[in-house]
Structure 1
């Protein structure tokens, strides 16, 4: 009888040990595109920044690693007698490389005080496109005071309040460079964030190359200027198209589309036409080149654009708050890397010191400011100010995020938030298995002692 009890105790202990082993830390962080979850292999990315200005113009230079240049946003491919679209938003990287690389800089002059302490986190309200609980209509970044209640994407403040906030400078200036939709014409997209993320007054540097009525592109490459009517799908997909050839539909390289031009399967045309931006939206010039695994992008803009309702006006010896973001490796939407906020000082000490120079273009040296970018996950401003966040009281006290967290910690936290329910369930299973293991061990120990006494 004692031997049976001993064998039973050993079996109970072994079973509890097996359950504990199986349930501990397995199967939690798993991509789930149905829930808009795709975790990058690399949670942080290094970036370098330089700044300089002269009497009229501000220059910002950025450098970051990218496996290959993302110079296509989306394309249309000829297949079996019709044109089909390739590319578009999706969780994580596009398998065919159909998302452009991008760099963005948020800029404020102190009119949005939370931005200097918490950076882009304040623009992430509930319901944003790409979140697991995204709203039924597309919602972009927005500032907290543009809603009547914190994080409520569909509870807009009155239009009169929105205008008063705007006049008081309650908006973020957004310099947005795109590898496909602006760089081919040496521009960036001048945007801003307030009630949403939108463009400044004027027209964007791109439009769509598609005739919906005819079901075909509007324009094609000018063979006399480029040597081809279309690109080849295999070359595009494998990254064999370089910046040294014409890869974008710009004014001097495009002609009206000819449906009778003898199209073959695999012919590719960009789904975007790139043209100079107009008005306030066309304020930013760009020079972007990819080489040896790195993007090197310089943006420039007048210190005073004359558009104070769209742009932050920069002044000699002024101090400003900035934060950066990049998209790389064929990712779009919220699958980007962001930075903590930094200070930008024009000719005085700050996190990033912009040196004043004479002449038309700066002579860049080797002195860079290193910035660590991190994957932010699905961390919203409403959540950070709720009971779900242990640091909500620190935010209420105005303690900056960098005083409590490093970029590496924030990247891990971003992943934990995406899998909060799974982690809690895993923790509970591990706890139950641990209690069962302790009970089984005690039972087995008592049974062993009893069997020895019986012997």
Structure 2
């Protein structure tokens, strides 16, 4: 019974239940920040065994264009999913964020949770499906729902609009190695009633003709020197950042189905572009690069973009709340590493101090890093954390922040435990049962011996 109840273990990857446990539960991230009278700069540095810049590729196989790199549970086996770094920003108008970070954005039945809402049900929802055009429950803020444990309980559009106008949203900086780095851009999004993109055009579009089952664009040989990439290039462990590993508008031409395509030709399913409007506010300073096992990326943006419904403005002597996340090892969706919330000060004391510079670009100091530990969050939602199933719910209700109470290692372990909560509970009952049987056996054995001894004594 002991072997049956404990010998096989329960913590293991289970793709059918949307479970994949990373081999390491924490990772380091280094951050620096600087600003001048017009711009703010963030530099990020983190380790990755290899760079993943090929994202969502179309591979020519036996006369058909086959997609590689769609969202999946855990790492993409062909490595066709991009590395990413993202940052949530608030100016104090989402008060829970400064205490609990990204946890507050995780509602019930989220995408890629074991108990995720069905795509058909979400698509039929008037707000998420009808207004947002989505079929998955994504990040959203607590006050956008009448009940955070019910993703359907969206407040009225007039309330959502008023919340956003009052600053109740999180600014999301989202650098992508495949879908934005090639054109020196970062995506610019926000989290409010749903995770959405800023107004305007982002740094990429979808290169796919659904009616003809073929790409919309191919490489222009006169500009790119080729018609397509090869699958062999995509599978290499290194990347020539000075070469071509992406397809952008300035090197593309309309797709030619009569071209003599070869087996394992590859065309990116994403077409990169410069972007327009509020969604194009964030750019890469210099070049985002992976070298010797580390990514090094610097992003820049205007202190005040002039888009108050999309972005959080920065100003001298201001103090802000940040939280960071990194995707690596060809993983997407919720398989990332996240951080505690951290404070940012522009010329004032904080966890991360942005120093003022006179020039148009910072000169970074190797000793100026703020070291941050990221952790795997698992399947932990805000409704769980604020309910009776969480022993710390009274502390959250009292407004006590998470960082002084839990280390990153603890939160990673708790995240894994929540993924296997039912199994761990079952093991507990099996262990209890085995213990009771053991005690019963001991009692019966001792009773038998005692009875036998008594009978022998009576006989004498």
When normalised by structure 2's length, the TM-score is: 0.92
- 1:206 corresponds in structure 2 to 204
| Aligned positions of 1:20-35 closer than 5 A | 20-24=2-6, 26-35=8-17
Cα 1:241–1:368 shift into 2, 3 Å: closer
Q: Which runs of 5+ in 1 are unaligned?
A: 1-18
**1:146-194 deviation digits (Å, cap 9, x = unpaired):** 1121232111101111111111100000000000110000000111000
**Map of 1:89 onto structure 2:** 71
Partner Cα distance (1:320, 1:151) in 2:
28
- Distance between the aligned counterparts of 2:167 and 2:306, measured in 1? 14
Alignment check: 8 A CA contact 1:53 1:356 kept: yes
The equivalent of 1:107 in structure 2 is: 89
One of 155, 169, 172 as aligned partner of 1:171: 169
Matches within 5 A, 1:189-204: 189-204=187-202
Judge which range, 428-437 or 53-62, deviates more: 428-437
Instruction: Give the corresponding residue for 1:154.
Output: 152
Contact 2:51 2:239 in 1 (8 A): no
Preserved contact between residue 246 and residue 253 of structure 1 (Cα < 8 Å): no
Could you report, residue by residue, the CA deviation over 1:361-391 in whole angstroms, capped at 9, with x for unpaired residues?
A: 1000012111110111111101111111110
Matched, 1:222 2:223: no
Instruction: Give the Cα separation in 2 of the matches to 1:22 and 1:139.
Output: 38
Of 248, 252, 256, 1:250 maps to 248
Superposition CA RMSD, Å: 1.6
In 1: Cα distance, 2:260 partner to 2:271 partner: 22
Q: Matched residues in 1 for 2:277 and 2:220: separation?
A: 28
Is 2:32 the partner of 1:50?
Answer: yes
Alignment correspondent of 1:321: 321
Q: Deviations over 1:257-304 (max 9, x none)?
A: 122221111111110000011100000011311011111111110001
| Cα distance change, pair 283–175 in 1 and its aligned pair in 2 (3 A) | same
CA distance, structure 1, for counterparts of residue 350 and residue 69 of structure 2: 40
Q: Following superposition of structure 1 onto structure 2, how do residues 368-379 of structure 1 map, counting pairs within 5 Å? A: 368-379=369-380
Q: Secondary structure at the match of 2:278?
A: helix
- Structure 1 residues 184 and 225: CA distance shift in structure 2, 3 A: same
- Normalization by structure 1: what TM-score? 0.93
Q: Is the 8 A contact 1:384 1:391 kept in 2?
A: yes
Moved more, 394-403 or 232-241: 232-241
Contact 1:77–1:86 at 8 Å: present in 2 too?
Answer: yes
CA shift at 1:25, angstroms?
Answer: 5.9
**How many positions carry a matched residue from both structures?**
437
Partner of 2:288, secondary structure, is strand
Question: In structure 2, do the counterparts of structure 1 residues 257 and 425 end up closer, same or farther at CA, with 3 Å as the change threshold?
Answer: same
Asked if the contact 1:144/1:151 (under 8 Å) is kept, the reply is no
Q: Tell me how far apart the structure 2 counterparts of residues 240 and 51 of structure 1 sit (CA, whole Å).
A: 29
Whole-angstrom distance in 1 between the partners of 2:274 and 2:179? 10
Q: Which residue of 2 aligns with 1:290?
A: 290
Take 1:256 and 1:292, find their aligned partners in 2: how far apart are those partners? 37
CA distance in 2, matches of 1:23, 1:197: 42
